[in-house]
Chains A and B, each alone.
Chain A
Amino acid sequence: MEQLIQKLKEEIIEALNLSEMKPADIDEKAPLFVDGLGLDSIDALELTVLLEKKYGLKINTAEEGKKILHSVNSMAEFITANKKS
């Protein structure tokens, strides 16, 4: 899980052009939106694309998206629970 969290942080920085940040700057438990990284709705779409592109996983509803994209930890849990072997 720790390895996945680190990888996710790197992928988020790349996908969202957060070039001023390092993986260590992202708190995996902190909310990604509003507080935390202060991401916006376009970033939410970008993270949705990231999950589909890199992990083949789709978010089906907005409600589900809110939970999955809450933090790096929740994204990692979603990937771990749903990844195809």
Chain B
Amino acid sequence: MKKSCIISHYCQIRDHAVIGDDETLYERCGADLSDFFTGIYQHFDISYPKFYKMDNLCKLGFLSVELLLMDRNIQQRYAGHEVGIILMNASSSLDNDRHHQQTILDRSAYFPSPAVFVYTLPNIVIGEICIRHKFTGEGTFFVRERFDPLFLFNYVNQLFYQDVVQCCIAGWVETLGDYYDSTVYLIEKTGKPDAGITIFEPDTIKHIFAKEK
């Protein structure tokens, strides 16, 4: 029987809510971005103090993947090098770049903060996730004008085809100012097509991304 790649789970954080596999897992209206992210962290009883040091892009990516993988036993099912992370967004690390710029505007008190500067690259979010889950497979962050399901499909498919990874966390993680939007997919190479399982293809990626709560 031909094995297919499947989207085994997905997690979405947008519009004041966390959605996991079509189910609303957490909702909090009226909170500012920082309180919303901290609210998610505390609600799910996540224990990872480094979370508080992260910029908003890393917090969003970290939380999205944390909830995507909750109770999935990924580390038991795959070796670290078998898991890849492919993410994309439109604003790169601009949100934190602006923050960094604000901290160095005063030339008479020029003290760039290493803790801020370290997040002036978008792929740092992948590093944070890899450190947390001990993933060592392919990790790439793309900056695209908008979410591109076909591009994501082709790239991840190529990784599977070349046997680079057996499992891939992929998706969209965007923050800019008060705006945030993430959809991350858990894609697995060796799944048998079955009722209730989503086949990994551009239309299903697009369909999940376009879902509204």
Contact = CB atoms under 8 A, between A and B. Distances in A.
Contact of B52 (A17, A42, A52): A17
Contacts, number: 29
B115 A46 contact: yes
Contacts of A20: 49, 52
A16 B53 contact: yes
A18 B49 contact: yes
A45 B52 contact: no
A55 to B, nearest CB: 12
Secondary structure call for the B interface: helix
A56 to B, nearest CB: 11
A46 B114 contact: yes
B179 interface: no
A43 B50 CA distance: 11
Contacts of A15: 113, 115
A17 B55 CA distance: 11
Nearest to A44: B114
A53 B104 CA distance: 13
B118 interface: yes
A15 B49 CA distance: 15
23 contacts: A15-B115, A16-B53, A17-B52, A17-B53, A17-B115, A18-B49, A18-B52, A20-B49, A20-B52, A38-B49, A42-B114, A42-B115, A43-B115, A45-B115, A46-B113, A46-B114, A46-B115, A49-B111, A49-B113, A49-B114, A52-B111, A53-B109, A53-B111
Interface of A: 15-20, 38, 42-43, 45-46, 49, 52-53
Given A20-B49, A46-B114, A46-B115, 9 more contacts: A16-B53, A18-B49, A18-B52, A19-B52, A45-B115, A49-B112, A49-B114, A52-B111, A53-B111
Query: Which 10 residue pairs across A and B have the least CB separation, nearest first?
Result: A45-B114, A53-B111, A17-B53, A46-B115, A17-B52, A19-B52, A42-B114, A46-B114, A42-B118, A49-B111
